[in-house]
Structure 1
Amino acid sequence: MITLQAIGVEYSAKPLFSGVSAVINPSDRIALVGKNGAGKSTLLKIIAGLQTATTGQVAASDGTTIGYLPQQMKISDETSIIEEVRKVFASQLVLEQESERLSLELASREDYDSEEYHKLIDRLT
């Protein structure tokens, strides 16, 4: 869950936006819509922790992963968009692969009372 509390941004004492509050739950699908210059990208950068707000705060639940794909990406001609998106979640993909590997190893073993088996369970949980 991500919580935004009274987020505001000012540039040279001129407010870009103020009082933005929201709760985003893991199952939510949201859209951020507004005219050019309204602060959509700025708000997303604040949520991702790439920029700080003038006022308010952002909080994310433990285990929440926030990725940010900028509008103007610095990519090489050999890199696809999907590869760039995967880079954002690379550490999560490594964890998923390790979890899958451990699960397969546990499923193939029959030494349920061994110390090694219990160590695998501990690593998986």
Structure 2
Amino acid sequence: MSISINSLSVEFSAKSLFDNISYIINPKDRIALVGKNGAGKSTMLKIIAGLQKPTSGNVAMPRDTTVGYLPQHINVSDTSSVIDEVRSAFSHVDKMRARLDEINNELLTRTDYESDAYQELIETMTSLTDRLAIEESENFEAEIEKTLIGLGFLRSDFQRPTSEFSGGWRMRIELAKILLARPDVLLLDEDRK
């Protein structure tokens, strides 16, 4: 599951940030991008995460690769508790359930059992059912608690509003969400002064 960065170039206002950069990220690689402010480190991470397009070149990665990206500056909701904010890492499970319900409802009304479209729906339903069974076999609450405690939170912090925490602690809340999503690739954009 290598990620290939191919001839990336980025220009802002006709000024080159970087030009013709190529490299490969192999499984289990741990890579640090080091450089002065404005050198393009955050831009490179955003491109790999798929959040920004390069001027030229591309990033090639296997189709089902998931990328977790923790930016330098984050927006954590100020209207929820720590535990509720972190639970949002599992919103994809709700989306899978909703999609499965849609497919089931559609299958109830269809009669074109031999068509390719019907077979495609059946395959999608089977795949979603399998993925959902794996996801739901996890004990979300135990995983959330373990992750938050591992990041330095106390159990008494779980019900506190996120608005009571400093920027560094909010960053940990966001990191907990990313870790719980178990991405294949983890990109941490950290600003060291």
Sort the TM-score into its range (normalised by shorter chain): 0.5 to 0.7
User: For residue 172 of structure 2, what is the amino acid of its counterpart?
Assistant: I
User: CA separation in 2, counterparts of 1:77 and 1:22?
Assistant: 40
Residue 176 of structure 2 corresponds to residue 86 of structure 1:
yes
**Alignment-derived partner of residue 37 in structure 2:** 36
User: For residue 173 of structure 2, what is the amino acid of its counterpart?
Assistant: E
Trace 1:62-73 onto structure 2 (pairs within 5 A). 62-73=63-74
User: Offset at 1:83?
Assistant: 2.5
**Alignment-derived partner of residue 74 in structure 1:** 75
* Helix, strand or coil at the partner of 1:84: helix
Q: Deviations over 1:80-100 (max 9, x none)?
A: 43331132355448xxxxxxx
Q: What RMSD in Å do the two structures reach over aligned CA positions? A: 2.0
* Helix, strand or coil at the partner of 1:77: helix
TM-score, normalised via structure 2 length: 0.44
User: CA separation in 1, counterparts of 2:57 and 2:50?
Assistant: 13
Structure 2 residue runs of 5 or longer lacking an equivalent are 77-161, 184-193
* Helix, strand or coil at the partner of 2:9: strand
User: CA separation in 2, counterparts of 1:92 and 1:36?
Assistant: 30
User: CA separation in 2, counterparts of 1:73 and 1:41?
Assistant: 13
Q: Deviations over 1:1-33 (max 9, x none)?
A: 211000010011111111111100111110101
Higher relative contact order (CA 8 A, sep 6+): 2
Aligned length: 93
User: CA separation in 2, counterparts of 1:71 and 1:36?
Assistant: 12
Residue 16 of structure 2 corresponds to residue 15 of structure 1:
yes
User: For residue 31 of structure 1, what is the amino acid of its counterpart?
Assistant: A
TM-score, normalised via structure 1 length: 0.65
Structure (1 or 2) with the greater helix fraction:
2
User: CA separation in 2, counterparts of 1:7 and 1:52?
Assistant: 10
User: For residue 9 of structure 2, what is the amino acid of its counterpart?
Assistant: G
User: CA separation in 2, counterparts of 1:78 and 1:86?
Assistant: 17
User: Offset at 1:68?
Assistant: 1.1
- Identity rate of aligned residues, in percent? 53
User: Offset at 1:73?
Assistant: 1.5
Structure 1 residue runs of 5 or longer lacking an equivalent are 94-125
**Alignment-derived partner of residue 112 in structure 1:** none
Change in Cα spacing, 1:65 to 1:78, as seen in structure 2 (3 Å) is farther
Question: Which deviates further from its counterpart, 41-50 or 80-89?
Answer: 80-89
